[in-house]
């Protein structure tokens, strides 16, 4: 296998309404490092849906893809997302200063990651 991508449509359980999407892209499977991304429609923010979907995709990635790490990028001004990622065990691994021009100002971008053994420790504490 040269490359793998897992994508998930995020839908409201009660109605099936489309809420957003998430994905994990494994560019070089030998490294067992997946890159995670998620987006939700704004009307679904601040209700725990992003946390639930991120946890589902993380669990799937480590259990079924056999990843050793999961990585992501997030803008430094996205405090809600950073809080969710940290709550789920991601650690800030790097900062690219003034990486993007957004809303008439420069914003930093952060790289975050979680390793398999960190995910396992978090999963054991929850269970």
89-120 pLDDT tens trace: 999 999 999 999 999 999 999 999 999 999 99
Residue 127, both tokens = 């269970």
pTM for this prediction: 0.89
- Residues in Cβ contact with 50 at an 8 Å cutoff, skipping those fewer than 6 apart: 38, 40, 44, 80, 81, 84
Task: Kindly report, residue by residue over 6-26, the tens digit of the pLDDT.
Answer: 899 999 999 999 999 999 999
Task: Kindly report, residue by residue over 52-61, the tens digit of the pLDDT.
Answer: 999 999 999 9
| Contact between 108 and 75 (Cβ < 8 Å) | yes
SS3 64: helix
Q: What is the mean pLDDT of residues 33-49?
A: 95
């Amino acid at each position: 296998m040269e490359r793998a991508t897992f994508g998930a449509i995020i839908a409201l359980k009660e109605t099936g309404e489309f809420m957003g999407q998430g994905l994990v892209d494994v560019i070089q499977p030998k490294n067992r490092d997946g890159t995670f991304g998620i987006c939700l429609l704004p009307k679904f923010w601040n209700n725990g849906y992003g946390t639930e979907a991120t946890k589902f995709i993380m669990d799937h990635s480590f259990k079924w893809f056999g990843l050793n790490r999961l990585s992501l990028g997030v803008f430094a001004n996205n405090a809600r997302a950073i809080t969710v990622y940290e709550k789920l065990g991601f650690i800030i691994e790097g900062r690219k200063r003034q990486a993007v021009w957004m809303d008439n100002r420069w914003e930093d971008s952060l790289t975050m990651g979680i390793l398999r053994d960190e995910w396992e420790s978090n999963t054991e504490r929850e269970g």
